[in-house]
A = this chain, B = another copy of it.
Amino acid sequence: MNMIDQLASIPLFQSLPVEHIKDLATIVVRRTFRKGQTIFSEGDEGNGFYVVVSGRVKIFKCSSEGKEQILHIFSPWEPFGEVPVFSGENFPAHAEALEESGVFFFPREAFIGLIRRNPSLALNMLAVLSRRLRKFTVLIEDLSLKEVPGRLAAHLLYLSERKEGTGHLVLDISKGQLASLLGTIPETLSRILSRMSREELIRSDGPRCIRILDREGLEGMASGERRLS
């Protein structure tokens, strides 16, 4: 594969117009790291982001006792370091090659120069990421709809029990936190709440207030006997 084809196969750049791929080819630096070699260290200036081309890269932090905590292992075509580099922050963790690894390095200043000359590169990358996010959101929804409504029903019944069986609940955490607790994202949680309202299991009485309308229905969902239609 030549450089242009390699760049075009990176999901972060997928379906970018070929002129943008060619622009990126003018700034990319190809680097190789031996097994165990450090790529960057925590606190280093985020002077550019990386994409794994071959091998595997470990991202880790060290505890105060020197114990290593692996945050992520990246495989070919996955980017790493891009979040701190895009935000203009230092690297928040260490990166090390787990085996002999090839990477692409995109220097931050040169990348900003490309965007300044051609804002549509940034717009197209925003489109790429937005499209992937949209796809991931749908997938999370598909994966979540099997279990999350039951978990949510159980959580609402638990909140009710803790308040001596009242049907008027006040969520004491944000929707984002509740979504994390239930293993989903706020968008999907909102949709599940809407569907539960349509099926008259609950009613939303404001941003954090929920009224239980059909306790038996919720119990059926929590036990897995009933599903949202």
Binding site for B on A (CB under 8 A): 11, 73, 75, 78-79, 82-84, 86-88, 112, 115-116, 119-120, 122-127, 129-134, 136-137, 139-140, 142-144, 183-187, 190-191, 194
Contacts and interface: CB of A to CB of B under 8 A. Distances in A.
A82 B132 CA distance: 12
A127 B185 contact: no
A83 B131 contact: yes
Contacts of A137: 136
Contacts of A140: 136, 139-140, 143
A179 B84 CA distance: 29
Given A115-B115, A190-B75, A184 B88 contact: no
Contact of A78 (B119, B126, B187): B187
Contact of A144 (B75, B129, B143, B185): B143
The quantity of this chain's copies bound in the complex is 2
A184 B135 CA distance: 11
Contact of A127 (B83, B130, B131, B183): B83
Contacts of A79: 130
Given A115-B115, A122-B122, A133 B131 contact: no
Contacts of A139: 140, 183-185
Given A112-B123, A115-B122, 8 more contacts: A11-B186, A75-B191, A78-B187, A86-B123, A112-B119, A112-B120, A136-B136, A140-B140
A158 B122 CA distance: 43
A124 B78 contact: no
A70 to B, nearest CB: 13
19 contacts: A11-B186, A73-B191, A75-B191, A75-B194, A78-B187, A79-B130, A83-B130, A86-B123, A86-B126, A87-B123, A87-B124, A87-B127, A112-B120, A112-B123, A115-B115, A115-B123, A126-B129, A129-B129, A139-B184
